[in-house]
Amino acid sequence: MTEKTFASKMRRSTLATVASVLLSVVFLSPGSLFALDNVDVGKLEQHFKNRYGVYLPGGFTVKVVKVKDSDMKGFKEGGYQVGFPDGNSRTYPFFVSRDSRFLIMGSAPTVKVDEMEETGVEGMRRGFLAAESGQVPILVSGDGKTIMVGNLENLDEDPAAATARKISLENVPSKGDPKAQVTVVEYSDFQCGYCARAAGQIADLLKDYKGKVKVFYKQFPLSFHKWAEEASIASLCVYDQSNEKFWKFHDAIFEKQREIKVADAKETLSGIARGLGVDMKKYNECVKSEKAKRRVASDVEEGRSIGISGTPTFVVDGFVISGGANMKAIRNAVDYRLSLSSEK
């Protein structure tokens, strides 16, 4: 198993822990792990090897690091620093009980009380459990004693319409007939390989549903993509001069995606813009502005408000289509919305 695969396994384990609002507890050997609250590092490391060693490549190393008191009563927290044969390392958090009996892998989910909001239902507020692996929506009772995982759904409201109202389509790059019956909004990242693949599929969608579908492009650069935000900003600066040139810029970035490096991203993006006949004085002023950066951040915040966490994600008339560029699901959603229009 590679470092990436093992990390994925650990993330899934942590998210499952959060989603169930239960902590998966492992019993340690009866021997004391503490001497006056001092962790027996050797025993903890041996336990990790026995429990997870079969999932790791030969030659891995493990070291307990950063052990300290935890905010969770009765536990200390620390991390297993795992070294991989290729020289990389990664730290996996854990909690260990002060009475030496239990080990919990993963980081503790936290509820930000100051960010809880009213639902409109008496005695019920909504918020998120925040963990390293993501955010899980929760509902909390008024007395704070009960937490339920999930969202509160209003049976008197069209969920798609509620989502659509959160999406602003003002001053956003678009393609297709402005009077088309169905609106498809894509939240995308210029450094995302799946997004590059989706670009061609959306072109086919517009061709197959000519006059019936219009597509809007929203920025959603992921934090671990090092030049994605820069590309988002640059694309909006091109769009400010021409919607048509934006789409040519969009296509060119995805065509050159694998060639672009962090070190030369600015120069490459500028060269693409220059080749499209963009006014470079305005372009350069724009890419340096805080306004352009805020526009990208606004798209990301909007996407998160409707539950988006990865790219590409498509929203068809307010229906969020999960699973990336799931074109079958997207086309099914388009067909469904068209059928509603024909019924009316």
Residue 143 has pLDDT above 90, yes or no: no
Residue 43 confidence (pLDDT): 78
Residue 18 confidence (pLDDT): 42
E strand or H helix at 316, and its extent? strand 313-316
C-alpha dihedral (79, 80, 81, 83), degrees to nearest 10: -170
Residue 255 confidence (pLDDT): 96
Q: Mean pLDDT across the stretch 271-296?
A: 97
C-alpha dihedral (223, 191, 91, 6), degrees to nearest 10: 140
Residue 132 confidence (pLDDT): 53
Of 219, 252, 254, 253, nearest to 236 by C-alpha is 219
Residue 123 confidence (pLDDT): 79
What percent of the chain clears pLDDT 90, i.e. is strictly above it?
A: 50
The tokens describing 283, both together, are: 């372009």
pTM above 0.75, yes or no: no
Which residue's structure tokens are 């070190």? 263
* Residue 321, CA distances (Å) to 155, 185, 211, 217, 340 in order: 21, 10, 22, 15, 18
pLDDT confidence tier of residue 344, bands split at 50, 70 and 90: low
The model's pLDDT over 94-137, given as tens digits with 9 standing for 90+, comes to 888 776 667 888 776 666 555 677 887 777 888 777 655 556 77
The model's pLDDT over 84-103, given as tens digits with 9 standing for 90+, comes to 888 888 998 888 877 666 78
The model's pLDDT over 50-61, given as tens digits with 9 standing for 90+, comes to 888 777 777 889
Residue 21 confidence (pLDDT): 35
3-state helix/strand/coil string of 257-311: CCCCCHHHHHHHHHHHHHHCCCCHHHHHHHHCCHHHHHHHHHHHHHHHHCCCCCC
- What gap in Å lies between CA 300 and CA 313, rounded to an integer? 12
Q: Mean pLDDT across the stretch 230-257?
A: 98
Are 273 and 242 within 8 A, CB to CB? Answer: no
- What gap in Å lies between CA 107 and CA 13, rounded to an integer? 11
- What gap in Å lies between CA 95 and CA 279, rounded to an integer? 56
Residue 34 confidence (pLDDT): 39
Residue 12 has pLDDT above 70, yes or no: no
User: With 0-12 CB in 10 A as exposed, 13-18 as middle and 19+ as buried, what is 118?
Assistant: exposed
Minimum mean pLDDT among 30-44, 79-93, 235-249, 264-278: which range?
A: 30-44
Residue 285 has pLDDT above 60, yes or no: yes
Give every CB contact of residue 204 below 8 A, 6+ residues apart in sequence.
Answer: none
